Amino acid sequence: MADMSEDGGLRERKKAATREALSVAALRLALERGPENLRVDEIAEAAGVSPRTYNNYFSSREQAIVAAIAAERALRIGVALRARPDEEPLADAVVEAVAGQYGAEPSGEALALLRATPNLRAEFVGTVERIEDPLAAAIADRTGRDDLTNTVLAAMVSAAARVGVKRWIEPAGEGLLVVPRGSLAEHLREALAHVKPALRAADPHR
Tell me the one-letter amino acid at 203. Answer: D
Among residues 56, 12, 30, 194, which one has the least CA distance to residue 123? 30
Reduce the DSSP state of residue 3 to 3 states and report it: coil
Which pLDDT score is estimated for 3? Answer: 59
CB 16 within 8 A of CB 57: no
What is d(CA 49, CA 189) in angstroms, rounded to the nearest whole number? 40
Give the pLDDT of residue 105: 82
pLDDT for the residue 205: 77
* pLDDT at res. 26: 94
pLDDT at 6: 60
Secondary structure letter of residue 144 according to DSSP: T
Q: pLDDT (tens digit, 0 to 9) for every residue of the chain, 206 residues total?
A: 455 556 667 888 888 899 989 999 999 999 998 898 899 999 999 999 999 999 999 999 999 999 888 877 877 898 999 999 989 999 999 999 999 888 888 878 888 888 888 899 999 998 888 899 999 999 999 998 888 999 999 999 999 999 999 988 876 655 555 555 678 899 999 999 999 999 999 988 77
Category of 182 on φ-ψ map: left (φ > 0), alpha (ψ -120 to 50) or beta: left
Q: What is the pLDDT of residue 181?
A: 65
Amino acid at 14: K
Nearest-angstrom CA–CA distance, 37 and 151: 40
